[in-house]
Each structure stands twice: as structure tokens, then as C-alpha cells.
Amino acid sequence: MKWIYSVSLAVTLAMQPALAEIAHPLTEQARDAYVSELLQKMTLDEKIGQLRLISVGPGTPKEAIREMIKQGQVGAIFNTVTRQDIRAMQDQVMQLSRLKIPLFFAYDVVHGQRTVFPIPLGMAASWDLDAVAEVGRVSAYEAADDGLNMTWAPMVDVSREPRWGRVSEGFGEDTYLTSEMGRTMVEAMQGKSPADRYAVMTSVKHFALYGAVEGGRDYNTVDMSPQRMFQDYLPPYKASLDAGSGGVMVSLNAINGVPATADSWLLKDLLRDEWKFKGITISDHGAIKELIKHGVASDPQEAVRIALKSGIDMSMSDEYYSKYLPDLVKSGAVSKAEIDDAARHVLNVKYDMGLFNDPYSHLGAKETDPADTNAESRLHRAEARDVARKSMVLLKNEQDTLPLKKAGTIALVGPLADSQRDIMGSWSAAGLARQSVTLLQGMKNATAGNATVIYAKGANISDNKSIQDFLNLYEQAVSVDSRTPQQMIDEAVAAAQKADVVVAAVGEAQGMAHEASSRSELTIPASQQKLLAALKATGKPLVIVLMNGRPLTLATEDAQASALLETWFSGTEGGNAIADVLFGDYNPSGKLPVSFPRSVGQIPIYYNHLPTGRPYNPAKPNKYTSHYYDALNGPLYPFGYGLSYTTFTVSPVTLSSKTLARNGKLDASVTVTNSGKRDGATVVQLYLNDPVASMSRPVQELKSFKRIMLKAGESQTVSFPIDGNALKFWNAKMQYVMEPGKINVMIGLDSVHTQDTSFDAL
């Protein structure tokens, strides 16, 4: 990936004039002066026009957009993804509008633009910040190369709610891991400056707490204590903003009864006053209108007044601001200064994007447009394959079933084994399904004729008609085989009987783990369960390859499988990457960024829970303790868990000091040894626990991690510096404090099997 840096740097240097020659230097001072002067030239309507963000689509035909642009009624556009289309609109601004204020162009570039990388939950499973930075750089490169200036990413909504379909878009259940991922994405996508030729501005979302929607039902409400909010859910947004994200997208949920879109505490007191955010706030799709249904506004005028006064700068996909703000200003319900503030934020980010220096900065000359937008040469396949294989998590591997030999006969079955669309996952941006590699293709590539791969679909994604209809609501997303379920199973069983080993690719269709795709069950659909049972009955070794966008309940599959590999939705190069892991060309190193429950009834289940007065002890079960009497305690697979084809041992922890002074620092170290026969990577995880404090503190919390690569037989000492910041928490009075006392240290290769010691914080 280094070449991207060098290419981008070279091109940037070649294309962009030195700072002194730039008409509008990219400094805050120059920006403020420029924008103030511009605001003075603008009419009220033009200012309000800047607050409107529209999506190009059936509701807004190109002719209507042209007229809006001419009248200065639109500030930015999203969902347009080719240089030709973008240039045409920017041309209209420059040729037809009075003040020629450039538009900016945005899109949901969440895990890739044309090359699709693993879904963010998969990226998180790599625990590899270099890999995630690679995703960020390539995505920004491809997005900027398509003329885009902004992305609606990263999504850093911490979630302990696997029923919520959008778990797939985030980085899991942990605050620290999500913060690191969000920060890394922002830094990589914005580069040195979002004005650079191959950088885009990020818009961190969804502010705030969207991942905690009640019951996992999308768009639902969130009710949360201030301690949990500040300790667990807000830090990833803060980390992404501290990394310089220019935008914030506001969430659709209410927080403690107040919709985020109407929450001036959230958007002004916290975001602007405390966190000093200077960029732009954008409502989510139609959110201003929705204030009426939320029950906090009686009519459109009121919704607009509340949203603007609460701190929403730009309105996404509704015409309410344009329609109602002029009269609200006339009547005095909204002041001109408030409009100026919002418009200033929009103009500021346009300035930061370099658009006032060159409205075509991400477009270049027309002659340089790619002849074929979808050309193979525009993809970054090697990078996608590299990240995808790092994202995979080996959940089980009985008697070294994996890696497979590139010999003999392999039966590959399952509705996801040859689906180009599903493997890309949700929000696959401008990625084309036809350019993705399925597992079938990947296995053929890997075996190159040395093994026979027999393929049978075996089952439809689901036999449930209403689920099929749900998935195919807007387009033909899943193809339903017209054979009976039994006919399909029979074909798969016949294939299995001819084979030495069976690989079953099962899980969810892309549309099952998406926005508005909440589930009340987390099982693999029944059609696929029946297929697995029939395959198991053949007595052949069964390798289950999971494709899904959320933790599933897998107790049955865990019992059936000889080996189980979690591959998430792995993107354009998914099939090759999975084959790399299955055949041992890559030794799996991923770790779960989220706990996998045994059943839906266990939710919420997360590793960093608070202690209770009656903890359950499996070694000494006691009725009057906190647990379910009808289920095993704890998750099926814990947070941080993942196997390898080699084995690792972790030494006892050594501390550089048994005490931590108030402003001091100590190091906690372990030696990790690759005790197996293969080279491999693993992730060393540091957890801390404050066993006695002024309020109950989580039984363990991730505070640091390091991904290391060890050759067979090799050892490495890994040290984690610990200082007071790692121990601070929000106390009952909402003060952010470090309290003296004993601190437990746990270091391991997952959250359960750890080497433990303790020190005293003074």
C-alpha cells in the first residue's frame, strides 16, 4: 500500500500549487476571513440554500436539480458517484449560479468505494490498525478519484445489540477498540488535509448512541445513564473528532426522550462548547421531518425551528429547511445570526476541502476522466485480499481439520458459496457485485486443478416467503431456487458423499445485516440449518464458513462442525481471502470484536459488564446468583477470541513497578511464544479492572492491544505502558477521576484466558 502514499503525494505535489500561490491558504484565519466576506454577499435564501443536502435519485430528477443549483438552493449532493455526473453539476454552479459557491459531493464510503473491503465489523476483527488505515487510504483514494469530497463514515456506534442490523457497520462492542478504529479511519481518509487530491473529509456517525437502540430495533429509542454514556458510548465519537473529522452525522434515535436531531445539549453544549467541534453537523436522512413523529414538534415549521436551534447545520434529504426557514426568519422565530452560523459551518468545510481554490480539485480536467468508470485497473484487489484475510476469525478447529489439503475432492455447498452480491456486505458503495470473487471461485483459484471442487447450492438463504420478500423488496437481491428444499439438500448430500471434506458457506444474505434489518432470532435460517444437519449426517468432516454481519447464535453449528471460520462479509476479494485461510496460505489471526451469545435471551451480553452482589461461579453453582437457570452462563465465543493454526503461550505478567504514582507510568509485560509449527500472528490484549472504587467498575476493560507476528518457535516480549489515564472513569457525580487503590491487570490472547497480576495506584 505504500505506493498509494507515494502516488498520491507525487500527484498532489504536481497538481497543487505551493501554499503561497494558493488564492485561499488553508489556514483557519484565512478561512474565517474569506467566509465572513462571502456571507456578507449572500442573500438569506442563498444562505438557506447552503443548508440543503440532496440525494440524486428518482425523487430529484436532474432537471429539478439544475434549477435548484441555478437558484442557489442547494449546498451539497450525495449519491452521485462518477466524475462525469459530478462535473456536470459543478459546471452548473460555476456557470449558472450568482455566487458560484461550489457544491461538495458525498457518499457512504464505509468500507470501500469501488474495491469493497470487509465490513467494518470484520475490519475490527483484524485488530490491525495498519490494515484499517490501508482501508481508509484506498477508500479515500478511490472516492476522491471519483470526484467525491466527503464520506458518511466512519460509523463508530458502539453496540452490544446483535439484533440490530447495523452492528455490521460498526466496530463492535468495545469502546477502546472502536475508538482506535474510528480514529485510524479518520486519519487515513482525511490524510494531511481533506483538500488533498486523494483525501476525503469524514463525517463520523451516528451522533450519538445509535448502537444502543432498544431491543435492537432500528431507529428506536435509547435510555442511558450519564456514566455509561460518557464511559462507554461517547469516547469513539470524541476520538474520531479529535482526529480531525470535519463532519458529524446526527443519529435518528432519541436519547433519554430527546431526539438527537432536537438535542441542543448534545449538539451544542457537548459537541461545540465542550468538545470544541468546528466542523459541520448533518442530520440523517429525513430526520428533521421525523421530529413530528417523534412527538417533539407539532408541524413542519416547529420541526425546522427546533432542529436549527438545536444545532443541525445541514438537512439531509428533506426540503424542510428551504421551505420553512425563510418565514421563520421573517417572523423572528429564527434569527439571521443562527442562519449565518449554520451557513458558516457549511462554507467552512467547503473551504477546508479546498473547493474555493479549485471547485474541480477532485475532478481534474475532463480529458482525464476514466474511459470506463468500472475498469478493473481502478480496483485495489491486493489490498482488499490482504485486509480480508486478516479479518477472519477461526472459531473452532477440531483435530486440525483446517488447513485443507489442495488435493482430493472437496464438496462446497451453501447458498453463500457462490453469491457475488452477498459477500460484499451492506453499504458496498460503488462496488460492483460482478467484480467480486466468490468462495467457489476463490477455491478454484487456490486449488488450480490440484483438487476437485464439487459445488451444490444446497439451500436457499431462507425458505420463509416473508423473509424472501423482505430481502427482495426493492430489487432482486436474493435468487430463490425453484427446486424443492429436499431436492437441493439431496444434491448437496450426493456431493458430500463423493468428497473427502465438506465446506458449507452459510449465514446471512447481505440484506439481513443492514439498516432496517433488525432480527428477533440470531440463528442461521432454518433452510440452512436443515442443510447442515443433512451434511453432518454424511459423517464427512464438516467445515462451516460463516458469512454474516452480526454475532449469530451458533451452539448447534459449533457442535456439528469440525471447523468453524467466521468470515463476515469479506468484500471484493473475499473468495480468494477465505481460500487463503482454508488452505493455510494465510494463518488466521482475527479476534472477535464482539461477544457471540448462546441465545437471543442472553442479550445484552458483553465482556466488560459490571459486577453484581451475587456473581455466578460455574465451579460452585449457586441458585441465588445472577444467571439463567436454563442456559449456560457467558457467551459461546467471548470477546477477543480467535484461534490460529499454530499455538501461542503467554508468560506471567511482569510489572516495572508494583505502584503507580499519580502522574507516573508503569509497564506491564508478557512474553508470547509461538509454540506451534507454523508462523502466525496473534493479538495480545491488555485488560484492567478496578476492584474497589467509589462505584462498581467493569470486571475488565480493554485498555490496549498489540498485534504481533511470530515465526514458529519464536518469542517476543510485549510491553504495555499504563498511566493514570487508563484508570480514569466518570464517578457518581460525573467527575472524571482516577481513584487510588488496587488495580488488576489481565493480559491474554482473548478476554477470558489471561495472565493476571495487580498493582497499587497511589
Q: Which chain residues interact with ligand BGC by CB under 6 A?
A: 108, 152, 205, 284-285, 515
Q: With respect to ligand BGC, which residue has the nearer C-beta, 213 or 747?
A: 213
Q: Which is nearer to ligand BGC, 290 or 701 (CB)?
A: 290
Instruction: Give me the least distance between CB of 55 and ligand BGC, in Å please.
Output: 7
Residue 730's DSSP bridge partners are 736
DSSP 60: B
Question: Cα 365–370–373 angle (5° rounding)?
Answer: 135
Alpha-carbon distance values, 75 to 41, 316, 329 (Å): 16, 10, 19
Rounded CA gap, 590 and 593, in Å?
9
Nearest to 567 by CA among 523, 627, 503: 503
In sign, the C-alpha dihedral spanning 650, 656, 658, 663 is negative
Helix or strand or coil: residue 147? coil
Least distance (Å) between residue 427 CB and ligand BGC: 8
From the centroid of its chain, how far is CA 399?
Answer: 34
Cell of 649: 503461550
105 sits in which H/E element: strand 104-107
3-state SS assignment for residue 206:
strand
Cis upstream peptide for 154 (omega within 30°):
yes
Compute the least distance from the CB of residue 285 to ligand BGC, in Å. 4
> Under a CB-based contact definition with an 8 Å cutoff, are residues 257 and 201 in contact?
no
CB nearer ligand BGC, residue 42 or residue 148: 148
Nearer to ligand BGC by Cβ, of 152 and 176: the residue is 152
CA-CA distances (angstroms) from residue 563 to 148, 372, 401, 589?
A: 43, 42, 6, 15
- Nearest distance, CB of residue 305 and ligand BGC, angstroms: 23
> Least CB distance from residue 111 to ligand BGC, whole Å?
13
Give 160's strand partners.
none
Q: Which is nearer to ligand BGC, 205 or 697 (CB)?
A: 205
The three cell numbers of residue 160 are 452490544
CB of residue 215 to ligand BGC, shortest distance in Å: 18
- What HEC string does 558-597 produce? HHHCCEEEECCCCCCCHHHHHHHHHCCCCCCCCCCCCCEC
Quick check: is 284 catalytic?
yes
Backbone phi, then psi, for 227, in 5-degree steps? -65, -50
Kindly state the greatest CA–CA separation across the chain. 80
Give the shortest CB-153-to-ligand BGC separation in angstroms: 8
C-alpha 73/C-alpha 91 separation (Å) is 15
Backbone angles phi, psi at 393, to 5 degrees: -120, 120
What is the DSSP secondary structure assignment for residue 737, as one 8-state letter? E
- Minimum distance of ligand BGC from residue 107's CB (angstroms): 8
Query: Which are the contacts of 377, defined by CB distance < 8 A and separation ≥ 6?
Result: none
**Cell for 663?**
502522574
For ligand BGC, the closer of residues 205 and 378 by Cβ is 205
| Least Å from the CB of residue 549 to ligand BGC | 14
Q: How many CA atoms lie within 13 A of 309 on its CB side?
A: 13
**In the complex, minimum distance from the CB of residue 258 to ligand BGC, in angstroms, rounded to a whole number:** 19
The CA R_g of the chain, rounded to the nearest whole Å, is 27
User: What is the DSSP code (8-state) at residue 618?
Assistant: T
Cell numbers standing for residue 757: 497480576
Contact predicate 225/610, CB 8 Å:
no
The span from the CA of 456 to the CA of 494, in Å, is 9
For the chain, counts of helices (H) and of strands (E): 22, 27
Buried b (16+ CB within 10 A) or exposed e, 270-299: bbbeeeebebbbbbbbebbbbbeebebbee
Q: Within 10 A of 520 (CB to CB), how many other CB atoms are there?
A: 9
Terminus-to-terminus CA distance in the chain, angstroms? 45
Smallest separation (angstroms) from ligand BGC to the CB of 210: 8
Nearer to ligand BGC, 209 or 699 (CB): 209
Instruction: Find the residue with minimal CB distance to ligand BGC.
Output: 152
Q: Choose between 168 and 576: whose C-beta lies nearer to ligand BGC.
A: 168
CB of 515 to ligand BGC, least distance (A): 6
Please state the closest distance from residue 204 (CB atom) to ligand BGC, in A. Answer: 11
**Comparison of 286 and 326: residue with beta carbon closer to ligand BGC:** 286
DSSP letters spanning 396-455: EEGGG-PSPPSSSEEEEESTTTT-TTGGG-S--TT--GGGSPPHHHHHHHHHTTSSEEEE
Select which of 128, 145, 284, 318 is catalytic. Answer: 284
Is-contact 563 540, C-beta < 8 A? Answer: no
Cβ-based nearer residue to ligand BGC, 108 or 161:
108
Nearer to ligand BGC, 285 or 678 (CB): 285
Q: Which is nearer to ligand BGC, 108 or 418 (CB)?
A: 108
Nearer to ligand BGC, 208 or 453 (CB): 208
C-beta separation of 582 from 443 below 8 A: yes
Counting Cα atoms < 13 Å in the Cβ hemisphere of 740 gives 6
Indicate which residues carry an active-site annotation. Answer: 284
